[in-house]
Structure 1
Amino acid sequence: MEPWKLCKKPCVLQIVGYANSGKTTLLTKLIPLLEGAGVRVGVIKHDGGHDFEWDQPGKDTWRYREAGASLVAITSRTKTAIVEQRPQELSVLVHRLAAAGAELVLVEGFKREGYPKLVLLRRPEDAALLQSVSNLVGVVSWGEQKQAELPCFHIDDIDGIALFVKKRIEEAPQTFS
């Protein structure tokens, strides 16, 4: 059995940074490496107040929501989506992805939550973020960044970041929970 499958609940790692720091790009490069290594990855994205739309006006699911349904689900041969008409706590979303089979949950955003975090620093002034978030496990930056006692990676070192994540899970599955 793979070591990351020993997590009783899914392992969780937050990717945090200011707007346009490269969080989504990093995740889209990291996910295939982890999935390719046999880790079933779930992802949660925090939409910082933009009130996302997941469906197109006029489509059936959109019409159900417009009619007042609190929950709308759609499924096909290859995928399923459920949307609730209310916000949800991160811990609940993590639990739901675990129930759906995620072994590792990567979270984009939710800076104030307490899960382990990789912080992205694009500009020198972004370093202030290091003082305002908890449970830092590493730094990913666009330039040189040396933080005492924290692993530091360049934004282009996707292989190194993936290896770091896999090693942390293997060495101590609870450290990403």
Structure 2
Amino acid sequence: MTKQVPLVTIIGVSKAGKTTLIEKLIPELRRRGFRVGTIKHHSHPGLEIDQPGKDSWRHAQAGSDHVVVACPDRIASYRSLEHELDLDDIASEMTNVDIILTEGYMQATKPTIQVVREANSRELIGTAEQCIAIATDATLPVETPCYGLNDTVALADLLERSFLS
């Protein structure tokens, strides 16, 4: 049986800095020798990742249920779904990583790091039980450990201690 890859979801209101935090955590975790995967939830149907007119796009338009585009240094795979996949099902396909960071899965029952920006909203979302840290530029009256928005070294320390040791 394969070990389940740890999954931590980054949550926050729109424009809080979730993507920026993930962009900063990835190189810090990679610097430490960890392989990092990411999953971004897009809540609107009809995601287009291919370019109209390209061969792979034409395959999909013709009715291919699963399209894979491969080149010497990358592979991309996409398929049509009858229903939205559970986060664990998606994560189970990512076997070549040590940790998965997700963005946009606010309803998932996974450990979370919440991003709170004073200028945007001090609103906390999600559940306190799942929140392992808050990345913020505000002073918040909470018991959850708070880190600076740019303190990716300390946040990576937390992830390494909690999930990668």
Q: 2:89 aligned with 1:92, yes or no?
A: yes
Other-structure match for 1:157: 151
Q: Deviations over 1:92-151 (max 9, x none)?
A: 1110012xx111011111111111001111247442415x57511111113223421x11
Q: Deviations over 1:34-67 (max 9, x none)?
A: 0111111111000121633211111111111111
Kept in 2, the 8 Å contact 1:112–1:133? The answer is no
The secondary structure found in structure 2 opposite 1:114 is coil
Other-structure match for 1:112: 107
Other-structure match for 2:123: 127
Q: Percent identity?
A: 27
Other-structure match for 1:175: none
Kept in 1, the 8 Å contact 2:122–2:138? The answer is no
Q: How many residues align?
A: 161
The secondary structure found in structure 1 opposite 2:21 is helix
Other-structure match for 2:136: 141
Other-structure match for 2:47: 52
Other-structure match for 2:15: 20
Other-structure match for 2:27: 32
Alpha-carbon distance in structure 1 between the residues aligned to 2:157 and 2:86:
29
More helix by share: 1
Kept in 1, the 8 Å contact 2:12–2:124? The answer is no
Select 2:4's aligned residue among 9, 14, 24.
9
Q: Deviations over 1:6-39 (max 9, x none)?
A: x921011110111111111111111011011111
AA partner of residue 78 (structure 2): V
Could you list the runs of 5+ residues in structure 2 that have no partner in the other structure?
none
Kept in 2, the 8 Å contact 1:74–1:80? The answer is yes
AA partner of residue 157 (structure 1): D
AA partner of residue 127 (structure 1): E
CA root-mean-square deviation: 1.9
Could you list the runs of 5+ residues in structure 1 that have no partner in the other structure?
1-6, 172-177
Kept in 2, the 8 Å contact 1:55–1:62? The answer is yes
Alpha-carbon distance in structure 2 between the residues aligned to 1:108 and 1:141:
16
